[in-house]
Amino acid sequence: METVSVLPELTIEPTEIKLMSGSEALMRSLVAEKVDTIFGYPGGAIMPVYDALYDFQDQINHILVRHEQGAGHAAQGYARMQGRAGVCLVTSGPGATNLVTAIADALIDSTPLVCIVGQVGKKLLGTDAFQEADVMGVTMPITKWNYQITSADEVPEIMAKAFYIAQSGRPGPVLIDMTKSAQLELMTQPFVYERCQTIISYRPRLTPKQDQVEAAAKLINEAKRPYIFAGHGVQLAKAEEELLAFAEKTGIPVATTLLGQSTIPTNHPNYVGWLGMHGNYGPNVLTDQADVIIAIGMRFDDRVTGDASKYIRQAKVIHVEIDPAEIDKIIKAHAPIVGDAREVLKALLPLVKENDHTVWRNEFRKYDVIENENITAPELSGDTEKIKMAEVIDLLSRKTNGNAVLVTDVGQHQMMASRYYQFRQKNSLVTSGGMGTMGFALPAAFGAQVAAPDRQVVAIIGDGCFQMTLQELGTIVQNEQPVKAIILNNNFLGMVRQWQQLFHSRRYSFVELQNPDFVTIAKGFGMAGHTCNERETLSDSLDQMLAFDGPYLLEVIVEKEENVFPMVPAGASVSQIRLK
């Protein structure tokens, strides 16, 4: 058979109206959504979009990452600081699959992302073409919504939907798979962009139902030992002020989840600590003594509840959630309130009585004393040979007056950062909670710094985590972002080692690392840094890092085998929390 290659005919539009390509329409859609920053990596199937982007450089700042996963996490860091969707742009096949971890992380941590992914041409779909992967199929379970654009005309409407879905209700990642043919072809109609306001089949409830609010207010007013759990939803709804007003009026103690940290200043009299496996002692133990739990924008993750069948069986639960599927999912709610945390708190405030609950709040202080005697004070005493992680965080907290944005990775250092940093400002912790993605911190810190140029961003990273995404040092340096990265180096995959020590009789199975010289690596990327190995130089080291004009990497050699306590062992109830 004869093979004929047909070149596409050049068609010159005779009409006066300039019809634009799908790629240009995509750019104009991003501009219409006021997107000024995108994180991406080019490749074959997304090249027409990159070609269009070339003409939009004055309006859109494209940041070239070193790996698509880095683009995803950077966009997450950006979204978490900005409170609106982070945008990623990657190519088909491996470009898209490399993004998968970040998408899954964004879904479970309710982070708005719009991921634009190239795809092979429409005619090649399903033919196992070069760099073709079924990205729609792959990402269906881990996106809030995904859609394949196969014609240029679809672009404005679909992009408007993508941003609306990603950012409204319970935020989440949206993936747009755009065929190369749709990027190249011309629209058949003039480009008109209308921002999406509503979708018939998707109507997140913001304003709560009044009867739900009244039922909850009644429970709160009758409660003797009420207890607020503030989750990530408070931050997502920008409800920090409303939470404070509510807590101050009612006098109810407030604990946060891991992602809820920094929604209330740690020195606020109502703040009692944070919940969960490595959270504070009192907040966990007293969970079992409260009579009414007011859970706001949190989802009773198993790291918070321990054994859910033994969890808060004595208390009535008021569950404030924007996502109705979260209600009764893990814990039965006696008084569910579906709505945006901010709207709900605003509606509740006039209905609740003034109170102070001093006696009940003081219960927490008793446990603080025990925790301090058994854990905090010894951790900070400085009587060990090597520096302890807690000391580094504690000192950092004091030197930054609790005003830095902490971006943490996953493991012991993450828990230590949460335990010892005294958050004073809202929106100050970016971490991978639900997915527990190692390698999250470095790119996310970069994204956070881009989103919040006026804030001091400090990434706290373990030596294991750092090696998962360290190539993003290149992105940080190229973009001159003054990210400070602290590697807490114990030469171990510390959290796994801790579990192996406690639950697998010290059978250390593949947790010790032979690490490279991190400072040399940083220098190779053009980033300044140094190693701190002595307690005497720790303070100066931190000063040097914080004062440095530009990105800086500080490696702190910490004690090899320290453990994070308190700890609720997996499968135990929260009141069985261990102090050692």
309 binds other proteins (CB under 8 A): no
* Residue 68 annotated in active site: yes
| CA gap 253, 232 in Å, rounded | 17
What's the Cα-to-Cα distance from 56 to each of 29, 187, 214, 332, rounded to whole Å?
12, 19, 51, 51
The amino acid at 190: P
C-alpha count within 13 angstroms, C-beta hemisphere, residue 447: 36
For the segment 521-550, give every residue that binds other proteins (CB under 8 A): none
Annotated catalytic, 148?
A: no
Minimum CB distance to other proteins smaller for 135 or for 230:
135
Residue nearer to other proteins on the CB measure, 321 or 463: 321
What single-letter amino acid sits at 372? N
Which one of residues 34, 189, 199, 218 is an interface residue with other proteins (CB under 8 A)?
Answer: 199
Q: Does 145 bind other proteins (CB under 8 A)?
A: yes
Q: Does 10 bind other proteins (CB under 8 A)?
A: no
Residue 201 binds to other proteins (criterion: CB under 8 A):
yes
Q: Which of 24, 33, 68, 240 is catalytic?
A: 68
Q: Which of 66, 67, 80, 144 binds other proteins (CB under 8 A)?
A: 144
Give the nearest distance from C-beta 138 to other proteins in angstroms. Answer: 11
The answer to whether the CB of 309 falls within 8 A of the CB of 576 is no
- Give the distance from CA 514 to its chain's centroid: 29
**Cα–Cα distance, 238 to 77 (Å, whole number):** 16
Site residues for other proteins, 107-136, by CB under 8 A, read 136
3-state DSSP call for residue 231?
coil
Residue 215 lies near other proteins (rule: CB under 8 A): no
Among the listed residues 8, 14, 126, 141, the single contact to other proteins using CB under 8 A: 141
Number of residues that make up the chain? 580
* Catalytic status, residue 130: yes
The reply on whether position 324 binds other proteins by CB under 8 A is: yes
Q: By rule CB under 8 A, what count of residues binds other proteins?
A: 23
Cβ at position 107, least distance to other proteins in Å = 11
Q: Has 495 been annotated as catalytic? A: yes
Q: Which of 27, 277, 298, 495 is catalytic?
A: 495
Closest by CA position to 251, among listed 364, 99, 166, 160: 364
**Which of these segments, 61-69, 197-205, 250-258, 345-353, binds other proteins (CB under 8 A)?**
197-205
Q: Is 165 in the site for other proteins (CB under 8 A)?
A: yes
User: In the β-sheet with 145-149, what is the strand arrangement from edge to edge?
Assistant: 61-64, 37-40, 86-90, 113-119, 173-179, 145-149
Q: Are strands 405-408 and 429-431 parallel, antiparallel or unpaired?
A: parallel
Closest CB 346 distance from other proteins, rounded Å? 20
Among 200, 350, 359, 454, the residue binding other proteins under the rule CB under 8 A is 200
> Which residue, 48 or 169, has its beta carbon nearer to other proteins?
169
> Minimum CB separation from other proteins for residue 95, in Å?
20
Interface pick for other proteins out of 329, 386, 399, 530 (rule CB under 8 A): 329
Q: Which stretch binds other proteins (CB under 8 A): 201-209, 399-407, 497-505, 519-527?
A: 201-209
> CB of 135: closest distance to other proteins in angstroms?
11
**CA 159 centroid distance within chain:** 23
In the three-class reduction of DSSP (H, G, I as helix; E, B as strand; rest coil), residue 212 is classed as: helix
Q: Cβ-count burial of 51 within 10 angstroms (0-12 exposed, 13-18 middle, 19+ buried)?
A: middle
Interface stretch with other proteins, choices 84-92, 98-106, 200-208, 462-470 (CB under 8 A): 200-208
Among 62, 122, 195, 205, binds other proteins (CB under 8 A): 205
Location of structure tokens 């010892």: 420
- Which of 34, 130, 210, 534 is labelled catalytic? 130
Q: Which stretch binds other proteins (CB under 8 A): 195-203, 213-221, 422-430, 488-496?
A: 195-203
Cα torsion for 437, 442, 447, 448, to the nearest 10°? Answer: 90
User: Which stretch, 74-82, 318-326, 470-478, 538-546, contacts other proteins (CB under 8 A)?
Assistant: 318-326
Q: Which residues pair with 529 in a beta bridge?
A: 553
Q: Considering the rule CB under 8 A, would residue 139 count as an interface residue with other proteins?
A: no
Q: How far apart are CA 375 and CA 386, in angstroms?
A: 17
Pairing assessment for the beta strands 335-338 and 316-321 based on DSSP bridges: parallel
Q: Can you spell out the DSSP letters for 381-447? A: S--SSSBPHHHHHHHHHHHTTT-SEEEE-SSHHHHHHHHH----SSS-EEE--SS--TT-HHHHHHH
Enumerate the active-site residues: 68, 130-131, 180, 495
**Rule CB under 8 A: which residues touch other proteins?**
136-137, 140-141, 144-146, 148, 165, 199-203, 205, 323-325, 327-329, 336, 338
